[in-house]
Structure 1
């Protein structure tokens, strides 16, 4: 993978000049001048996902110049490097092959001379056998009762992806109750365990190293709760499963090695829902639906690899994001899902985006002189309309938004879905075109209502519009379409990292806090006045110790 400073490219310089021309252009004028704008700035994926990026502050020249930036920074070369198993995560000397986990064509992929598809297929087969036994009731608890509840204990990538998918695909779930524990705050696991019967509960301990502080603290508490009721350690094998690569620690914990599902160092945590980490997903929706999830992602992988850049959905979304982040100096992006089952989607995207591209050092080891990762946030769309959309419409900050909705609902209840979708369509229209003084005056004439204090009130009622959005209309949220949607965003994030010359697949920034926390734990457990830190940290710790 090449290391090219994007700011020193010819394409970047051309974009800077182009931005001067585009910064004051209004979307109203772009649509008036080009009646075919929607057709030119939208792409249909597999008759499943319509991506409309026409309501952006771009024209054909913008796209062409952004494509030139992708070409000059050797994006195609980077895509080929990732999919072929080259060690593009150079700070950790690892390949990046979450895509191999959904390689349903079974094309050989080699890492260090070994075809990893053999290992992937073996684990997938093991996951199928296990999940089939649990779902069918063949797998029994220590007293011979069938399993009713699954508790996934993990954090970060071992939690967010699986939690999001099981919620998004709730209409496909079976009889098993799926719970997720991630917070080291004992409140979460305490409240979940109150509802459960240890004789019918199965715990999935999800940690690559099996040493993650938050996960293992919760895992030990779960084991203690179980043994308090069951009394015999030999029954741990009936109720605890490990999703890990650390055999030694798994055995030490007391889990039968046959109940360990391995994944590999070329699977990044935040990209791991396709791996054994997704066992909770498979237990929730069954093997066949899990395969459809992989199938949808694989279809998007093929689109990403083979489609020319100018028609490549993840590439275009990434380039538009870079356009706003680095030329308009926009710092945040909102993800707004108009589908209640997708309520965890923004939180999931927040992690894979901000943990991946939240970097200030480029691939040459130098401080960057441009913006890298955006701040990603979001909420369920209709709720957001009554919370923060006011700022998006009339505030001083430009916030590009991805609006996501499904055309076909899983719950046909009167006219609910029609009203939901009317808001989805209306909001992007309002953000793009706003409400002019002329329209406000016309409305007052039609309603035969004179505007009182017109000179005072009018500026407050005007919406200037020109607020950028992408509309992502999914035919229906299914395992296949959700897999494709997730992979689309994964590849968008990868594309951004390639062009911005940063390493997307490490996360050194999260390590320091963990190290300091481990040093502070003994200080919280003794009776001494703490003076070893800065004055703020010392006094916060001492206040805690006094109050506890």
Structure 2
């Protein structure tokens, strides 16, 4: 039985159709709300108390988790059993951070030590070539944690647009550059095209034996070997791209910040895994978040969730989460292939505070959309500038959640407008707009590892509660197949608009 066929799902539909109490009233009705809705895990506070879901509704969601057999799916995931039904695969990313199984990370750590020791020649620059999960995760890691590191500078080139690679070339010295090429299948069109251009760049700049300056990270090592690459770090076929930063795909962090930083990242993730696998449903941070996500999207019909990182070091978190959540749970069929009669994953979007306040927050406070917002902040800054910078940053972060919830009453707006009714309407705020806040005490490799593992467990739990398979991505594969046909100039059979665009761009004769 799928989750939407259970009695718990029917109950939740009834609860969603009933009048909803404002969140401020829920704080009065539920005296322990702040405690029960704000779990603390390894230096991270997860405050979900401002989101529009009552204690009774959370109990019903927990009932759904029981009927969906969420705990059994946890155990399958942790044990390396098949959880990806359409491809008949396990998903073994959690095992990569288990200390008992971490011996397979030894080649990655040894390669990082060799590069940092100069055993592969002088290296002051890394150009990391990959796309999707092969780039988003490593880029987030080095951007968040690499500011005070002593290893080579890392430049990430993902887009097939040559401008991305050209920027990396402009920032690097070819004589002291190492290339990291990441492709699970070692057939990824964007990655192999960029790798060829990078090798051409090294050769054009008189770097001897350019292929010796490449480290391939792949689940198909034989293909990398056939391409003449000597330095190869494999990872398992059962590790999906968007879950792969824990594998050799995370090599840039281990080189930039050192093997110890990478191991601390794994330790933090493992600590969150232990919490996820052993904590009761209503005290379990990833499960609480997942249950509320499903409540918002599937039952209340709120199609988006905004994610705002109030820390410059986490500026790449929103795009990273876009892939994790939408590629995993952006499905319209259940794991048995039957159509689903409700919305699944929310559309993730977001930005960086306080920049976003001056761009999109007008809509959040006064627009007609009332979808949930999530703030991610760090209590301790890394910089040594005047503490007023961080004080104002956090004040702005917390103020947004408070203002979204409270709003401004008609009476307050009229007073603010000095009796001008039209101006008062413009200055009024409805309030009761839900938000969550995730507050890390500091941003270290361990804390970042725990945060990313939280989001993975949350995404997986939401998938189980909706009955979808979060580990395949056939929509991505379709786009690749069509792109390959168009790149070969095969326009026959396409719609008139696509054929006209190919003609207008002069692409019929392009030979990839």
Confirm or deny a common fold (TM above 0.5): yes
1:510 corresponds to 2:486? no
Map of 1:186 onto structure 2: 162
Map of 2:115 onto structure 1: 134
* CA shift digits 1:406-458 (9 cap, x unpaired): 111101322110011110111100111111123335x65xxxxx715x22222
Partners of 2:488 and 2:132 in 1: how far apart? 25
Map of 1:64 onto structure 2: 59
1:304 corresponds to 2:299? no
**Structure with max Cα Rg:** 1
Map of 1:356 onto structure 2: 328
TM-score where L is the length of structure 2: 0.96
Q: How does 1:81-92 map to 2 (within 5 A)?
A: 81-92=76-87
Q: 2:301 aligns with which of 329, 339, 343?
A: 329
Q: 2:436 aligns with which of 463, 467, 470?
A: 470
Q: How does 1:47-58 map to 2 (within 5 A)?
A: 48-58=43-53
* 8 Å Cα contact 2:30/2:55 also seen in 1: no
Map of 1:40 onto structure 2: 36
Give me the CA root mean square deviation.
1.7
Map of 1:113 onto structure 2: none
Map of 1:78 onto structure 2: 73
Q: How much has 1:243 moved relative to structure 2?
A: 0.2
* 8 Å Cα contact 1:170/1:341 also seen in 2: no
Q: How does 1:285-300 map to 2 (within 5 A)?
A: 285-300=257-272
Partners of 1:389 and 1:299 in 2: how far apart? 34
Partners of 2:272 and 2:507 in 1: how far apart? 56
3-state SS, counterpart of residue 370 of structure 1: coil
1:14 corresponds to 2:11? yes
Q: How does 1:164-243 map to 2 (within 5 A)?
A: 164-230=140-206, 232-233=208-209, 235-237=210-212, 239-243=213-217
Map of 1:112 onto structure 2: none
Q: 2:495 aligns with which of 534, 538, 541?
A: 534
1:461 corresponds to 2:427? yes
Partners of 1:35 and 1:323 in 2: how far apart? 22
Partners of 1:531 and 1:80 in 2: how far apart? 49
Partners of 2:111 and 2:435 in 1: how far apart? 43
1:501 corresponds to 2:467? yes
Q: How does 1:246-261 map to 2 (within 5 A)?
A: 246-256=220-230, 259-261=231-233
Q: How does 1:380-529 map to 2 (within 5 A)?
A: 380-414=352-386, 415-441=388-414, 444=416, 451-452=418-419, 454-523=420-489
- Stretches of structure 2 that go unaligned for 5 or more consecutive residues are none
* CA shift digits 1:227-271 (9 cap, x unpaired): 2233654x522x111101223321222211xx1000011100100
1:283 corresponds to 2:278? no
3-state SS, counterpart of residue 367 of structure 1: coil
Partners of 2:32 and 2:207 in 1: how far apart? 71
3-state SS, counterpart of residue 260 of structure 1: strand
Partners of 1:16 and 1:518 in 2: how far apart? 43
Partners of 2:69 and 2:137 in 1: how far apart? 30
* 8 Å Cα contact 1:22/1:57 also seen in 2: no
Q: How much has 1:175 moved relative to structure 2?
A: 3.7
- Stretches of structure 1 that go unaligned for 5 or more consecutive residues are 107-116, 141-145, 445-449, 525-529
* 8 Å Cα contact 2:50/2:435 also seen in 1: yes
* 8 Å Cα contact 1:236/1:254 also seen in 2: yes
* 8 Å Cα contact 2:151/2:257 also seen in 1: no
